[in-house]
Structure 1
Amino acid sequence: MAAAQIDTCVGDLAGNASAVLEWTRRAAQTGAQLVVFPEMTLTGYPIEDLALRASFRRAAQETLEQLARDLDADGLGDVAVLVGSVGERASRRRRPGADDAAEAPRESGTEPLPDSELVGDVVAGRPEARDAVRPTNDAVLLRGGRVETRYSKHHLPNYGVFDEFRIFAPGDEICVIDVADRRIGVVICEDIWQDGGPVSLMDEREVAALVVLNGSPFEEGKGHVRAELAARRAAEVDAPVVYVNLVGGQDDLVFDGGSFVVDRDGSLLASAPQLVEHLLVWDLADEGEPAQRGPVAPPLHPDEETYRAVVAGLRAYVRKNGFRTVTLGLSGGIDSALTAVIAADAIGGENVVGVSMPSAFSSDHSKDDAADLAQRIGADYRVQPIAGMVEAFQRELALEGVAEENLQARVRGMILMAISNREGHLVIAPGNKSELATGYATIYDAGSIGGYAPLKDVDKSRVWALARWRNDHAIDRGEIPPIPESSITKPPSAELRPGQLDQDSLPPYALLDEVLDAYVEHAEGRAELLARGFDPAVVDRVLQLVDRAEWKRRQYPPGPKVTALAFGRDRRLPITSRWREP
């Protein structure tokens, strides 16, 4: 069998079908009799409310049927192809927490309702509404030129970045397919994360292997969790588990691939590399024979893993949204330096437009570092002084203090947007998670404006670590480090007034990030933070900054999720709130 971890794009039905055809052809050339693609391959993932459109579901079904015919016409009709797609079924919407047995979905041959009716029953979310056609998250077996079998995902995640319970109807049937006289169990992603359900019944079916179609987003440290979980399920069904995962970026999510096979004793039999498309071919041993072993990809260093995930997220966002180039402000500081290098690695340095926008307070070393960086990565480097523009505003407004500082920052944002409008570049924001958490950024400035923010889920301490890793990686390859050393070592500053440093307004970043991790990612309250020994003044200051900055975070561009809890889908708090930690 072959695990095809491929990169798909939401809504690109024809393009995704073409990729399935091409990768099945490659798999067949290796002798594979079963090819397994990731979750929602044909539609892309996650499709969110596109699933609620009957027109989209009809198009997906038509594409699926045509794909089956194309596979057959290409001489691949004998190959069993498992592909993820959207389906539909008649089902009464269940209330969260309702008893599955009491409110189990039922099969129906009802024709799809018009979109207008579907809106009333599904989108508005009336749990008491009459039965309506609802979408399902399906694994579909294509063979012999037709759609042979469908399986609908049972467990619909409703936490973190997932919102599937609101969108999909759950399945209630077990799926076992026959390939080359072997019985293969089929489930989808969350079905193995929940105890019980379809996996618990597979041992009764005596399957030779369990295949799992996945759209599991990347986050730091998640790889070993997947492997340990799959090992438990392999022991449960007394058969190897083949875990096939999506790869590539989709908006603020990155899928890292890393498909693998684990034996019933938990040992790793084969694995694919992370963050690249790959065909992992593995032979299922005959009954009674020792398990076959296949290629095993070496694991990535944690910093390399995160760095490559951020690169993959930016690359996907640029390409899938029709851009070729990006632009950003180059200040000479660490955030813009790392962001520029990430962009160069994602789409090529020649496609990066770096703009230095010095003010009266910009240091010579900052301007020199920005120029040096641009030369190292081969970027299109430009200098646009802002003093004249700031003076023009000041003649009309006569601002002072913070308002004057923010004017400088916003003029820079305006310049970048003007260049973007004139030349068609995507503006990318170099702000990091620590700044976003505390609101330590001028809204609409060069650090927060634009269409995508590669470092949105990377705290300041990790920014330095990733910069160090990237430079070390270059040295190991005999290349010039892309980031000037002084950009890494100098104290961070917005340079909006003489002698300004970040630490004038914030605790040291090492301490700040530790408090932020506890408060934001682990939801610890003030009492818990004080019990851990943090200084009360630091705790109160950080919590105040975080709680007051929600309105800024809502207006920040999307960026790739790399931690367990990213701002955006993961953390949904009201902007208007008088709650403060006691």
Structure 2
Amino acid sequence: MTDHLTIALAQINPTVGKLDHNAALIRQARREAADAGADLVLYPELSVCGYPPEDLVLKPFFLDQVEATVRALAADTADGGPALLVGAPWRVEGRRHNAALLLDGGKIQAVRLKHDLPNYGPFDEKRVFEAGPLPGPINFRGVRLGVVICEDMWTPDVCETLAETGAELLLVPNGSPFELDKVDRRLSLAVSRVTETGLPLIYLNQVGGQDELVFDGASFALNPDRELVAQLPAFVERLAITRWSRTADGWTGQSKEMVPPPESLSAIYGAMILGLRDYVGKNGFPGVLLGMSGGIDSAISAAVAVDALGPDKVHCVMMPSPYTSQDSLDDAAQCAGLLGCRIDTISIAPAMDAFAAMLAPSFAGTQPDITEENLQSRSRGLTLMALSNKFGAMVLSTGNKSEMSVGYATLYGDMCGGYSVLKDVYKTMVYRLSDWRNQNRPLGALGPSGMVIPERIITKAPTAELKPDQKDQDTLPEYAVLDDILECLVEKDMSMADIVARGHDAATVNRVWRMLDRAEYKRRQAPPGVKITSRSFGKDRRYPITSGLLSLVPSK
């Protein structure tokens, strides 16, 4: 029996499927932990293969390689250094499980299986894993450790079972994605588990971007009296040392790591930076290029890109038409100048003329309408994709959630792109983030301090500039109204009557509802983007394209 235990929290950024890379991260963290005198290193959920691995775990050869990697890591621990608690997909009697494995003394000493498999929002673990039984504690060097894998902490059963069977300390490896206000919910749930069991708890979350998900880290530890022992930073990798001692009232811990979590705007911006940085880096793109219109969406997209990748990896392209104002040209150039990134100008007027001539016989006898407007947007999309094909940079889409909700976007035009940082950000939030970025330089940002988005871009009326004197509000409700209605419909699934009761016009609510549902086919073809809210488009919200729902929506 020991009365002292030093546990290192390895908040690492694994890459899904890149086993050698992930093993290298695990080994590096172990070396640093050994130098600090750690007895045990705790890693995130499925840290060996990265989270979420999705259907990779259905491939037997992949699981074979995972097992070989785990056994090699276990062999490393024969040197007498720190033990490892790693996560990996693991086969038990031929069945696939989400597992935590204790590696010590050169061997796999214990395996614990996730009991509560999440099956909502972006999670569908029941498709690929089987649930394990309620676990008992692991005896590690005289201390009974309760291993609680991610979702197992969100309900009381696993923690209560561990406490009843003699656990002394709860270790919670996680792959918990970022969304607004989630840090508070995690802490609240952890406090509930500590209160119920009387046991200290270490919550270790991974960090990094994986497709549309961003894992924010922000790991923490709690004493039995619910005192915060450690708080790791968000959005960065970190190894933190916690030192635990046995007392008459159980185990208590100490740590020097105490970094407050970021406020909401800082957190959103940090998620956007990390999501883009890892999407570009982990997929091997040399950089990004985007259409710079002189509007706020492209301006903040460019700012995020520069902060994530550096100005040398961001290429902006201004593509004016005869309807583009001089103000837009000037604003785009000034914004690129403030950010320090390259901007080129390629006029789409020749493409517009070519399409007009080419389609004239087919369009004879008709009047110009939205078709000609969309041809402008598609000319820009074609131009950006040509540059991407030629030079390899990924096209960054700049559409926001308000536009994507109601279909105020052009397929194969401004929807072109490999990724979008604004996909889950409403227009009103775009304005708030732009103001915030002009006053703050995020931690770890590669862009400049001070103003990066010209004030006129923030204050002028938004416009697509596809026809003379066009404004967004010619087609859409005011964004403050639109966004509130959309949040009620998308995030909260509220009824029309309840939305109207908030003070909205019934006809406007009905119109927005219909626009939202009719645009589903467009959203299915949109690029991936950073998840920010509790209900992002994609896995969080799975609506049929063909549906009779609109016939059920009341007209008043």
- Quickly say closer, same or farther: Cα 1:421–1:478, change in 2 above 3 A: closer
Unaligned runs of 5+ in 1: 90-107, 109-132
CA shift digits 1:131-175 (9 cap, x unpaired): xx3311000111111211111100001111110111101111414
Q: 1:451 aligns with which of 418, 439, 444?
A: 418
In 1, the alpha carbon distance for the partners of 2:83 and 2:136 equals: 14
In structure 2, C-alpha distance between the alignment counterparts of 1:471 and 1:288, rounded to whole Å: 53
Q: How does 1:100-139 map to 2 (within 5 A)?
A: 108=93, 133-139=94-100
Q: Is the 8 A contact 1:231 1:265 kept in 2?
A: no
- The reply on whether 1:522 has 2:492 as its aligned counterpart is yes
Q: Which residue of 2 aligns with 1:165?
A: 126
The Cα offsets for residues 312-346 of structure 1, whole Å up to 9 and x where unpaired, read as 00001000101121000000100000000100011
Q: Which residue of 2 aligns with 1:421?
A: 389
**Is this contact kept in 1: 2:266–2:442, CA < 8 A?**
no
1:460-491, Cα deviation, whole Å (9 max, x unpaired): 00011111111011499993311111111111
Partner of 1:254: 214
**For 1:266, which of 226, 244, 267 is the aligned residue?**
226
Equivalent residue, structure 2, for 1:70: 76
Provide the secondary structure at the position in 2 that maps to 1:59: helix
Q: How many residues align?
A: 535
**Alignment pair present for 1:439 and 2:407:** yes
The question of 1:359 aligning with 2:284 is answered no
Deviation at 1:267, TM superposition (A): 2.1
Residue 373 of structure 1 and its aligned partner are, at CA, apart by 1.2
- Identical columns (%): 45
Asked if the contact 1:178/1:184 (under 8 Å) is kept, the reply is yes
1:71 CA displacement: 4.1
Whether the aligned pair in 2 keeps the contact of 1:474 and 1:481 (CA below 8 Å) is no
Distance 1:511 1:285 in 2: 55
Q: What CA distance in whole angstroms lies between the structure 1 residues aligned with 2:420 and 2:205?
A: 25
Partner of 2:3: none
**1:14 maps onto 2:17 in alignment:** no
1:82 alignment partner, one of 82, 85, 98: 85
Contact 1:80 1:179 in 2 (8 A): no
Match of 2:374 in 1: 406
Cα distance 1:474–1:319, how it changes in 2: closer, same or farther (>3 A)? closer
- Structure 2 residue runs of 5 or longer lacking an equivalent are 1-6
* One-letter identity of the residue aligned with 1:299: P
Superposition pairs of residues 140-219 of structure 1, within 5 angstroms? 140-196=101-157, 198-219=158-179
CA contact (8 A) 1:467 1:488 kept: yes
Q: Which amino acid aligns with 2:100?
A: A
The CA deviation string for residues 377-401 of structure 1, in whole angstroms up to 9 with x for no partner, is 1212110001011101101113621
Where does residue 460 of structure 1 map in the other structure? 427
**In the aligned structure 2, how far is the partner of 1:54 from the partner of 1:271?**
38
Q: Name the SS of the counterpart of 1:212 in structure 2.
A: strand
Secondary structure, aligned partner of 1:35: strand
Structure 2 counterpart of 1:246, one-letter code: Q
1:47 maps to what in 2?
53
CA distance in 1, matches of 2:449, 2:23: 40
Matches within 5 A, 1:461-540: 461-474=428-441, 479-540=449-510
Are the equivalent residues in 1 in contact too, given 2:15–2:49 (CA < 8 A)? yes
Q: Distance in 1 between matches of 2:192 and 2:441?
A: 39
Give the counterpart letter for 2:98 in structure 1: N
The letter of the residue matching 2:38 is: A
**Aligned equivalents of 1:532 and 1:510: distance in 2?**
13
Q: Which amino acid aligns with 1:15?
A: H
Once residues 478 and 305 of structure 1 are traced to their aligned partners in structure 2, the CA distance between those partners, rounded to angstroms, is 19
Taking the aligned partners of 1:237 and 1:205, their CA distance within structure 2 comes to 11
Deviations 1:438-475 (A, max 9, x none): 00011111x31111011100000001111111101149
Does 1:550 find its partner at 2:520?
A: yes
* 1:337 maps onto 2:308 in alignment: no
Equivalent in the alignment of 1:125:
none
For residues 388-423 of structure 1, give each alpha carbon's deviation from its aligned partner in whole angstroms, at most 9, with x where no partner exists.
111011011136211011100100000000000000
Q: 1:31 and 1:509 mapped to 2: Cα distance? A: 55
Offset of residue 287 of structure 1: 2.3
Distance 2:348 2:43 in 1: 52
**RMSD of Structure 2 on Structure 1 (CA):** 1.6
Task: Return the offset for 1:291.
Answer: 3.0
Shift of 1:199: 1.3
Q: For the structure 1 residues 345 and 175, does the alpha-carbon distance in structure 2 shift closer, same or farther, using more than 3 Å as the test?
A: farther
CA separation in 2, counterparts of 1:71 and 1:13?
A: 18
Q: Look up the SS of the partner of 2:252 in the other structure.
A: coil
Alignment correspondent of 2:544 = 574
2:151 maps to amino acid: E
Aligned residue number for residue 64 of structure 2: 58
Distance 1:475 1:63 in 2: 36
| Structure 2 CA distance for aligned equivalents of residues 478 and 425 of structure 1 | 22
TM-score calculated relative to the size of structure 1: 0.90
Instruction: Report runs of 4+ in structure 1 exceeding 4 Å deviation.
Output: 474-478
For the residues of structure 1 that align with 2:442 and 2:419, how far apart are their CA atoms?
A: 29
Return closer, same or farther for 1:173/1:182 CA change in 2, 3 Å cut-off.
Answer: same
| Deviation by residue 1:13-37 (Cα, 9 ceiling, x = unmatched) | 1110111000011111111111100
Judge conservation of contact 2:210–2:275 (CA < 8 Å) in 1.
yes
Secondary structure, counterpart of 1:406 in structure 2: helix
| Counterparts of 1:342 and 1:559, CA distance in 2 | 13
